[in-house]
Structure 1
Amino acid sequence: MNAGAPSETAQQRVKLKEETLVNDDQDTTVNTTSAQWVIQIMYLVTAVDLSCMFMQIGIVPYLATSLGLDAVEFGYLQTIFGVLQLLGSPIFGRFADQFGTRAALTLSYLAGSLCFFLLSVSTSVPLLFLSRCPSIFMHGLPGAQMVITDLTTPAKRADALGKLGLCFGVGIIIGSSLGGTLATNFGVYFPCYVAVTGCLLCTVIVLIFIPAQTKPPAKRNAIQQSTSQSSSVFNLREIIHLMKLPGVMDVFLIKVFSGLPTGVFLIMFSIISIDFFGLDAAQSGYLMSYCGILQMVVQGLVIGRLTSRYTERTLLMMSVLVFCGVGIGMVLMTNVFHYCIIVAPMVFSFSTIGVITDIILTKSVPASDTGAMLGICASVMPLTRTIGPTIGGFLYRRFGVSCFGYSQLVVNALLFLYLLKKRIPHKEGNVN
């Protein structure tokens, strides 16, 4: 693709200029074809990274039990993991803005390798807790979102980010099944060795194929001129500054609260599946696989089509309204068949709100701070994992499963009214 060819029309030249990206190392142009190649590589690497993640998640409870941890102590272990992820997400985003997404992804995958290596030698409880420490830098999925955000125009961003849901589904299915099989046949530590190898492979691929700086020229100039880039990666003031930009806090709060009841319910699902639905471990696993497939379909095939036809505001309001219907369904739910029906709109709303709010928020901040904003967005799930077990356990023991439905209905009904009143987002279209 030659931008200087005289046979090209003016319209083609404008389009090429809009979608051109730059590689910092060689200071040469990376055209849209190269950008698509980098995105495809990013999908592959993310699928491998998430497979490694879910591989070790499946064996940690068995390893903890073999080392003598009870349910309360295992809860502490999970809380530490959630808190570290929560604290590390904004820092990781600012690191990516200042040093490039390749450096950030390399840090993430090396941290993953260290985490899984420490897990593989965890023959005591202190070592098991120590193995959680590198997770503060483990943010492969947000890193992939940063690459895709930099390499796509706002019009194509929703479809590209949505396809990461395919990687997430692949990670759940392959990681969970492979981890269980390897642990059964070769011992509980063997999946950790495989996960270490997988993360090191991701590191090599990123160093070879991902440009040092994926932001296009205009954004690179913004980075050099931005005062925030001269500040420390750990500068809390700059993170607070982003949250105070017009429209950012409103959308972020919608992102947090709309999916909070569902997130808490999913955290408690392992207990609910046994106590309420009466499922055994195998049946519960099949149900989780069903949910993973639904997420792959929604994020990989549905969201991109919807964003090409409807505005962000319309999709946001529709998703919140569907969540209200999900809440009613959860109140009336009495068996696993009902849940299989309810989970489809639940996954749709959960996935759509996640993708749409990420897009709105990255368009609401300066181009030099999109990584930091995505890092802040990535802190929502660790926040839910941190507070979810306490809130969910109390609600479930006190009020039963129906309380999750009532909270889903009330929270999202209030958010729908808030959206109508505040007119969020304030701007439509491709403003980034």
Structure 2
Amino acid sequence: MRFEHRAVPIVLAAVLVDTIGFGIVMPVFPELITHLGAVDLEQATRIAGYMLVVFAFTQFFAGPVLGNLSDRFGRRVVLIASMLAFSADYALMAVAPTLAWLFLGRAIAGIAGAVYGPASSVLADVTPPEKRAGVFGFIGAAFGVGFIIGPAIGGLLADFGPRAPFVAAAVLALLNALAMIVAMPETLAPENRRPFHLRDAHIVGAFRPLFAAGNAAPLLLAWFFWQLAHMVYPATWAFWAAIRFGWSPAEIGWSLAFVGLISVIFQAGLSGRIIARIGERRALVIGLGSGGLTFLIFAFITASWQAYALFLLSACSGLVFPAMNGLLSRMVDATRQGSLQGGIGSMGSVSQILGPLLLTQALATGVDHGFPGAAFLVAGVLALTALGTIVWKVLDRVPPPEPATADV
């Protein structure tokens, strides 16, 4: 495997380590909330949804700001600062005495979590436009590897108490920051930097160049519906699995690790080749169709083995992120990649505000009425709405990708 620039594996490693840290804490989050809040699992589901809203609300404002700062000062300093903030956040949550402290930790994580915009900008800086979709797929692969390792470690560390995984995540984030200080090169050339203007550091300012290019509005709308649907996993999976199957934190961790394994095999080995062969537009149709069908079936399954079988079907949904990002990144020039990626992150934050509110409440309401799959039913409808938007408004209106000349 040959990368276009030595910064690419460093950034992918940073995403990997960050995802490991995030995955470590997922299996114990329900237990920690029920302990600190003295509530049952159903109530903890709603509280977790509110915490995700806090995370997303702060990220909504931070994403375009960090993206524009990276267009002004470069990617390196922004990435390092975000990693240090993540370390402080996990350390804070490790010693949180009340639920209020967990909410504060989620707010800090929302600001630091806008790091994926600068990370994606690094890949856009050093990769030719026709190869970006494939390279963006490696971010998904790094995320998948993190979800193999992180939840598995978190499930094991849960034996030492619900706070132990947070300590481990804090140490990993700190090591990540130190490694980037030593090894991370700057990828934004001085001639491609532009002044920072607060008037541009918001979601409308980030997408303004896209609208000037045309054809972007339905694409962004479809991506928003998909992001909203995909929130069913971080917002409800741990709670749904505990309610539907009675899984322990360790079993939840292993299920997430299996998802990560499938994701990394597909993202690293197949997504780039598929997109290069059939194009970004057809890849979107396959990815959205696979995801929507998976969500709908999840709503009605009754056995653990069925969940693992569906993970295989859902693998093709990994085409959505690289194909979408590849299309959009080709619509702006080199001076606006950070702003674009920050805007994409900000749009994702809106879905992270609305998604947990919608999907955790759907789960809780469904449980009250004997249908724990309600959240996945809602997610399936949203994903198919995204698919319909692509088929109706996008397929014949976005310029086809330039042919790839070599493997990434």
TM-score of Structure 1 vs Structure 2, range by shorter chain: 0.7 to 0.9
- Any residues of structure 2 matched to 1:299-310 within 5 Å, and which? 299-310=267-278
SS in 1 for 2:56: helix
- Any residues of structure 2 matched to 1:255-334 within 5 Å, and which? 255-264=223-232, 267-277=235-245, 279-323=247-291, 325-326=293-294, 329-330=297-298, 333=301
SS in 2 for 1:418: helix
Matched AA of 2:256: M
The aligned counterpart of 2:201 is 235
Distance 1:128 1:282, change over 3 A: closer
Distance 1:332 1:124, change over 3 A: closer
Distance 1:269 1:426, change over 3 A: same
Greater alpha carbon shift after TM alignment, 378-387 vs 85-94:
378-387
The aligned counterpart of 2:97 is 123
Which residue of 63, 88, 102 maps to 1:114? Answer: 88
Matched, 1:150 2:125: yes
* CA displacement 1:189-212 (0-9 Å, x = unmatched): 443333333222222222222223
Which residue of 178, 197, 204 maps to 1:204? Answer: 178
Q: What CA distance in whole angstroms lies between the structure 2 residues aligned with 1:59 and 1:332?
A: 26
Deviation at 1:275, TM superposition (A): 4.2
What TM-score do you get using the length of structure 1 for normalisation? 0.78
Residue 292 of structure 2 contacts residue 381 of structure 2 at CA under 8 Å; is this kept in 1?
no
**Unaligned stretches of 5+ in structure 1?**
1-32
Q: What CA distance in whole angstroms lies between the structure 1 residues aligned with 2:97 and 2:298?
A: 42
Distance 1:160 1:77, change over 3 A: same
Deviation at 1:377, TM superposition (A): 1.8
Residue 228 of structure 2 contacts residue 379 of structure 2 at CA under 8 Å; is this kept in 1?
no
* CA displacement 1:353-391 (0-9 Å, x = unmatched): 111111111111222111111122223443333222332
- Any residues of structure 2 matched to 1:21-420 within 5 Å, and which? 36-68=5-37, 70=39, 71=44, 72-135=46-109, 136-185=111-160, 187-212=161-186, 214-216=187-189, 220-224=190-194, 229-232=195-198, 235-236=201-202, 238-245=205-212, 246-264=214-232, 267-277=235-245, 279-323=247-291, 325-326=293-294, 329-330=297-298, 333=301, 335-349=303-317, 351-396=318-363, 397=365, 400=371, 401=373, 403-404=377-378, 407-408=381-382, 410-412=384-386, 414-419=388-393
Deviation at 1:263, TM superposition (A): 3.0
Greater alpha carbon shift after TM alignment, 333-342 vs 363-372:
333-342
SS in 2 for 1:138: helix
Distance 1:74 1:305, change over 3 A: closer
SS in 2 for 1:131: helix
Q: What CA distance in whole angstroms lies between the structure 1 residues aligned with 2:54 and 2:276?
A: 40
Q: What CA distance in whole angstroms lies between the structure 1 residues aligned with 2:243 and 2:28?
A: 22
Matched AA of 2:255: L
SS in 2 for 1:364: coil
Residue 235 of structure 2 contacts residue 360 of structure 2 at CA under 8 Å; is this kept in 1?
no
Residue 91 of structure 1 contacts residue 233 of structure 1 at CA under 8 Å; is this kept in 2?
no
Q: Aligned residues: percent identity?
A: 22
Q: What CA distance in whole angstroms lies between the structure 2 residues aligned with 1:330 and 1:133?
A: 31
Greater alpha carbon shift after TM alignment, 331-340 vs 287-296:
331-340
**Unaligned stretches of 5+ in structure 2?**
none
Residue 326 of structure 1 contacts residue 405 of structure 1 at CA under 8 Å; is this kept in 2?
no
Provide the aligned length of Structure 1 versus Structure 2.
388
Q: What CA distance in whole angstroms lies between the structure 1 residues aligned with 2:400 and 2:34?
A: 52
Residue 264 of structure 1 contacts residue 391 of structure 1 at CA under 8 Å; is this kept in 2?
no
Give the alignment's Cα RMSD to 1 decimal.
3.1
What TM-score do you get using the length of structure 2 for normalisation? 0.82
Matched AA of 1:82: A
Q: What CA distance in whole angstroms lies between the structure 2 residues aligned with 1:145 and 1:323?
A: 23
Q: RCO (CA 8 Å, sep 6+): is it higher in 1 or 2?
A: 2
Greater alpha carbon shift after TM alignment, 365-374 vs 65-74:
65-74
Deviation at 1:290, TM superposition (A): 2.0
Q: What CA distance in whole angstroms lies between the structure 1 residues aligned with 2:3 and 2:262?
A: 31
Residue 66 of structure 2 contacts residue 115 of structure 2 at CA under 8 Å; is this kept in 1?
no
Deviation at 1:101, TM superposition (A): 0.5
Q: What CA distance in whole angstroms lies between the structure 1 residues aligned with 2:218 and 2:64?
A: 18
Deviation at 1:97, TM superposition (A): 1.1
Greater alpha carbon shift after TM alignment, 319-328 vs 100-109:
319-328
Residue 206 of structure 2 contacts residue 342 of structure 2 at CA under 8 Å; is this kept in 1?
no
Residue 52 of structure 2 contacts residue 235 of structure 2 at CA under 8 Å; is this kept in 1?
no
Matched, 1:428 2:401: yes
Greater alpha carbon shift after TM alignment, 64-73 vs 294-303:
64-73
Deviation at 1:282, TM superposition (A): 4.3
Residue 158 of structure 1 contacts residue 355 of structure 1 at CA under 8 Å; is this kept in 2?
yes
* Structure of higher CA gyration radius: 1
